[in-house]
C-alpha cells in the first residue's frame, strides 16, 4: 500500500533514482537535501517511511537518525548504505533504523523494503 516516503540524501541523483522507483506505485515522495533538512521534513510531514543516506555533509545519517528517533520512537527509517559500511549500519540499527538497502539500488528490493515496512 502506498505511503508518504521521505528521501534524505545530499545527492539529487540518488533521490531521483529512488523517486523513480517509488513514485509509480502511488507513493507520495518527499525529499530532504541533508541530515538537518531530513529532521525538519520528518517533523513537518511525519512520513510513513524514511530512506536515509549515511554519508552527508552537516548532519550525517546517523545523527539524523538519532534526532528522528528521539522525535518519534516509532519512526520507520531505512538506511541507504554502500558496501563497506557494515559497522555504521549496525550502529544505525541499534539506534533504531528498521532496515537498510544497499547501493546501487535494485528496484525490486527497494519496493520489497517499502511493502515490508509500510503495513
Partner 1 sequence: MDDMSEYKEMYAVEAAEHLQSMNEALLNLEKDPENSETINVMFRAAHTLKGMSATMGYTNIKELTHEMENLMDSVRKNEMKLDSAAIDILFEGLDTLEKMAENPENCSQYDISGLIKKIILLSKREAAAETTGQVKTPETTAADVTNNSPKPDNIGQEKVEDGCTILDITVTLHESCVLKSARSTVVMRNLSELGEIIETHPSIKEIEDEKFDREFKIVVSTKEDVAKLEKAIMKISEIAKVEIKPHEGIQAKAKVEEKSCAPDSNKTAIKSVQSVRVSIERLDSLMNLVGELIINKIRLMQLATVHKLDVLEETLASLNRLTNELQEEIMASRMVPIEQIFNRFPRMVRDIAKKEEKEVELILEGGDIELDRTVLDEIGDPLVHILRNCVDHGIESPEVRKQAGKNPKGTIRLIARREKNHVVIEATDDGKGMDPQKFRETAVKKGIVTQEEAAKLSDNEAINLSFMPGFSTADKVTDVSGRGVGMDVVRTKIGSMGGSIKLESTKGAGTKIILKLPLTVAIIHSLMVKVGNDVYAVPIANVVRDLAIKKDQIKTIKGEEVILIRGEVLPIVRLRKLFGIDSNGSEDLLVVVVERGGGNIGLVVDQVIGQQEVILKNLENRILKGVKGFSGATILGDGNVALILDVVTLL
Sole binder of partner 1 in the list 36, 63, 66, 102 (CB under 8 A):
102
As a residue count, the chain comes to 119
Query: Cβ of 70: how many Cβ atoms within 10 Å?
Result: 12
Sheet of 4-8, strands arranged across: 28-32, 4-8, 49-53, 77-81, 99-102
* Residue 43 or 116 with smaller CB distance to partner 1: 116
Residue with cell 537535501: 33
- DSSP state, residue 91: H
We find the least distance from the C-beta atom of residue 30 to partner 1, in angstroms, to be 9
Beta strand spans in the chain (E): 4-8, 28-32, 49-53, 77-81, 99-102
Which of 39/99 has CB closer to partner 1?
99
Going residue by residue from 34 to 53, which x/- string records binding to partner 1, judged by CB under 8 A?
A: ------------xxx-----
Q: For the window 2-31, what string marks contact with partner 1 as x by the rule CB under 8 A? A: xxx-----xxxxx-xx--xx-x----xx--
Q: State CA 13 to chain mean position distance.
A: 15
# residues contacting partner 1 (CB under 8 A): 54
Residues that bind partner 1 (CB under 8 A): 1-4, 10-14, 16-17, 20-21, 23, 28-29, 46-48, 55-57, 73-74, 76, 81-87, 89-91, 93-94, 96, 98-107, 109, 112-113, 116, 118-119
Amino acid at each position: 500500500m502506498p505511503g508518504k516516503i521521505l528521501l534524505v540524501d545530499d545527492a539529487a541523483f540518488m533521490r531521483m533514482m529512488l523517486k523513480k522507483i517509488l513514485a509509480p506505485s502511488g507513493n507520495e515522495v518527499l525529499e530532504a537535501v541533508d541530515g538537518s533538512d531530513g529532521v525538519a521534513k520528518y517533523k513537518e510531514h511525519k512520513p510513513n517511511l524514511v530512506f536515509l543516506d549515511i554519508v552527508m555533509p552537516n548532519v550525517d545519517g546517523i545523527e539524523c537518525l538519532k534526532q528522528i528517533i528521539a522525535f518519534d520512537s516509532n519512526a520507520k527509517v531505512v538506511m541507504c548504505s554502500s558496501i563497506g559500511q557494515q559497522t555504521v549500519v549496525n550502529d544505525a540499527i541499534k539506534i533504531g533504523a528498521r532496515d537498510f538497502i544497499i547501493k546501487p539500488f535494485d528496484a525490486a528490493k527497494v519496493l520489497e523494503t517499502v511493502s515490508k515496512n509500510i503495513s
